[in-house]
Structure 1
Amino acid sequence: MTGQPSLYAFPDNSTLQKTLYDYILRAQSAALMRHQVFKIAVSGGSLPKLLASPDLLASSDIHWDKWEIFFADERAVPLTHPDSNYALLEQELLSKIPKTGPQPTVHPIDPGKLSDTQDLANAYEESLIRSFAAKDSVKLPVFDLLLLGCGPDGHTCSLFPGHVLLREKTAWVAAIEDSPKPPPERITLTLPVVTHAHKIAFVAAGAGKKEVLRKIFDTHPEAEAGEVLPCALVNLGAGDKVSWFCDQAAVEGVSFPRKSSL
């Protein structure tokens, strides 16, 4: 992959949200020109709340009926559980979309598969196959947009530093039963699926992220593969398809050049 990721830094969350909305709108427009549907995957954490900006929720330019929303990772818990990424997205975004208008198509995990994490992963991969490979066989799904977070340890989705799943090459969705962050049982999109997307947006805010962002952006990229953090592997694998939306506190001390507007 050629090119460098774009690192955007904003003085406050309001400006960050506004620029993220503009970015999503552009991604939606490009997707609808390609295939009349907007296929995105989202993660949990603070992302759903930042995603649900007033601009997004009030916009007549957002075509909710064209959106297909998947989950970049999910915890092996019921859909109503506090740890569920679906429950978080429902609370922060989906419940706020006016019920009188069009609604997105949402693809949660199958709660009937919670007793076996590998079955849960297989079922979710099958739902991706139905959406992305219904007509033709494809090696990997191509999301129009991935909206991801960055953990303080540099993990994204449920891909953790040094974990064996970082070497997975063929599966679209993988099971993890030893997550270092609770709950331990989860499913996640694999690294090749993440880097194959048309666009990838990371959202990272707060001073608690500045140390890991220094490692991701300023540590020499030729470090041994096992030493490269998952977020940095996405940067390396997807290059200029990646955009980071951060506040000033998160990028304090980062020497990588940053931008203030799209």
Structure 2
Amino acid sequence: MSHHPPNPPVIHSFASSEVIVSSLAAFVVKAQKEAIDKKGRFTIALSGGSLPKQLNGLVGNPAVKWDMWQVFYADERVVPLTDPDSNHLLCSNELFNKVPIPKENIHTIDVTLLDDLEELSDAYEKELIKEFAQKDAARFPVFDLILLGMGPDGHTASLFPGHDLLAEEDRWVAYLDDSPKPPPKRITFTYPVINHASRVAFVAAGAGKADILKAVLDRPEEGLPASRVRPVFPGQLFWFVDEAAAAKLEVTSDEFKL
């Protein structure tokens, strides 16, 4: 565990959400290149919501080495993979069905375990252990990149305000059956997993996110779930926002340039 203070977040603000798409693609490709150069694979975790749509810039992008990707879900709804609520279905429709990624590189929940949340989250944790433990021998997995969205209540992944899971320090994957948003049953990465990533990037666009973005970035002491994402050194936190979402921030921002 590092005793370094976390790196301050880097905030990239763009004129529109369209520009976020191309800049986010460049950012992902850069993270991918560094990871593959270093260890021959790229580990990434995705969430659902409006995030998968923002990854359109990766479709048809010749710099993406899809066969080197290992994809996990930062959270998933406990539903069949064909259910409209499934994050995997959403990410598949928006991205994976449009690109040549090998199906076995995408780690989904085990749908034979939908009736047993404990078993289901344990099985998903074992998927992580298989990918990370033998190779990195770390207490927690170190993802190259975790991409997250943020709800209007400040939740991220399936970590909700005031929920017991905000205090989970041991498990890599935890379950909840009382999500304040439907569907109630979900599994989610815990903070130790999110905060051990090399890079975590939030994407937040639209005026509807302005108040909560201000609360998360300017008032972290309120402890909203998104503001508890603070990667341990040397990990870095990035925000990709549009001007509408950033309208109430006091922090300075810059555009992402390679």
Normalised by the length of structure 2, the TM-score is: 0.93
Alignment gaps of 5+ in structure 1: none
Distance 2:146 2:136 in 1: 22
Is 1:32 aligned to residue 31 of structure 2? no
State the shift of 1:232 in Å.
0.6
Residues 136 and 64 of structure 1: CA distance in aligned 2, closer, same or farther (over 3 Å) = closer
Distance 1:235 1:136 in 2: 21
Query: In the TM superposition, what are the counterparts of 1:9-158 in structure 2 within 5 Å?
Result: 9-53=13-57, 56-98=58-100, 103=102, 105-135=105-135, 137-158=137-158
The SS at the match of 1:153 is coil
Contact persistence 2:196–2:235 (CA under 8 A): no
Contact persistence 1:195–1:238 (CA under 8 A): no
Distance 1:136 1:22 in 2: 26
Equivalence for 1:175: 175
Aligned-pair RMSD on alpha carbons? 1.6
CA distances 1:74-98 after superposition (whole Å, capped 9, x unpaired): 0000000000000001111011115
State the shift of 1:116 in Å.
1.1
State the shift of 1:165 in Å.
0.5
CA distances 1:70-129 after superposition (whole Å, capped 9, x unpaired): 00000000000000000001111011115xxx5361000000000011111011001111
Equivalence for 1:166: 166
Distance 1:142 1:237 in 2: 11
Alignment gaps of 5+ in structure 2: none
Distance 2:234 2:211 in 1: 21
Distance 1:240 1:124 in 2: 23
State the shift of 1:239 in Å.
8.4
Is 1:246 aligned to residue 234 of structure 2? no
Normalised by the length of structure 1, the TM-score is: 0.92
State the shift of 1:261 in Å.
2.5
Residues 111 and 255 of structure 1: CA distance in aligned 2, closer, same or farther (over 3 Å) = same
The SS at the match of 1:52 is helix
Q: 2:223 aligns with which of 228, 238, 259?
A: 228
Distance 2:78 2:9 in 1: 32
State the shift of 1:3 in Å.
2.6
- Of 195-204 and 10-19, deviating more is 10-19
